Amino acid sequence: MVAVILGSLGCGAALTVGGDIVRPAEIPVRVFPHIVVVPSDGEESERLARRLAEHLEPGESDVSTRSAQQLEAMRAAGALPAGSVVVTVRAELIRTDEPTWTRRDVMECGPLGCAEMPRSVVEDVPVILGRARLTVTDGPTGRRLQSAGVEASEVGADVMGMRLRVFEELSERATAMVDPHRESVRVELESVDARPVRRALEVIGAGDWARGAALLDRFVASRAFAALSPGDRARVLYDLGESRRFDPSLPPDERFVHASEALRAAVRLAPEPRYAAAIADLQAHRRALVLLRRHREARDHNFRLGRDADSEPVPEPPAAYREGGSPPGP
How do residues 208-226 score in pLDDT, each as one tens digit? Answer: 999 999 999 999 999 999 9
Quick one: pLDDT at residue 138? 93
Q: Which residue type does 65 have?
A: T
Q: Are residues 14 and 96 in the same domain?
A: no
> ∠ CA(54), CA(323), CA(294), 5° rounding?
80
As a whole number of angstroms, the distance between CA 217 and CA 317 comes to 44
Question: By the 8 A CB rule, do 149 and 329 touch?
Answer: yes
Instruction: Note whether residue 235 is domain-resident.
Output: yes
Quick one: pLDDT at residue 100? 77
**Residue where a domain stops, chosen among 219, 237, 271:** 271
**Residue where a domain stops, chosen among 227, 251, 271:** 271
Q: Are residues 41 and 69 in the same domain?
A: yes
Quick one: pLDDT at residue 36? 97
As a whole number of angstroms, the distance between CA 7 and CA 184 comes to 15
pLDDT tens for the chain, residues 1 to 330: 444 444 444 444 578 998 889 999 999 999 999 999 999 999 999 999 999 999 999 989 999 999 999 999 999 999 998 889 999 999 999 999 888 777 777 777 877 778 887 877 778 899 999 999 999 999 999 999 999 999 999 999 899 999 999 999 999 999 999 999 999 999 999 999 999 999 999 999 999 999 999 999 999 999 999 999 999 999 999 999 999 999 999 999 999 999 999 999 999 999 999 999 999 999 999 999 999 999 999 888 888 875 655 544 444 555 555 444 443 333
Q: Domain range for residue 264?
A: 4-24+183-271
Looking from the CA of 307 toward its CB, the CA atoms found within 13 Å total 5
Quick one: pLDDT at residue 266? 97
Q: Are residues 60 and 161 in the same domain?
A: yes
pLDDT digits (tens, 9 = 90+) for 270-308: 999 999 999 999 999 999 999 999 999 988 888 887 565
Quick one: pLDDT at residue 43? 95
Q: Are residues 165 and 203 in the same domain?
A: no
Quick one: pLDDT at residue 95? 95
Residue 181's alpha-carbon distances to 25, 158, 245, 272, in angstroms, are 7, 33, 19, 31
Counting the structural domains of the chain, the total is 2
Q: At how many degrees (to 10) do helices 230-245 and 252-269 cross?
A: 160
Q: Are residues 115 and 236 in the same domain?
A: no
Q: Are residues 234 and 138 in the same domain?
A: no
Quick one: pLDDT at residue 251? 93
Quick one: pLDDT at residue 317? 54
As a whole number of angstroms, the distance between CA 325 and CA 180 comes to 11
Q: Are residues 14 and 44 in the same domain?
A: no
Quick one: pLDDT at residue 306? 58
Instruction: Note whether residue 329 is domain-resident.
Output: no
Quick one: pLDDT at residue 5? 42
Quick one: pLDDT at residue 319? 53
Q: 34-39 and 62-65: which strand pairing? A: parallel
Question: By the 8 A CB rule, do 17 and 314 touch?
Answer: no
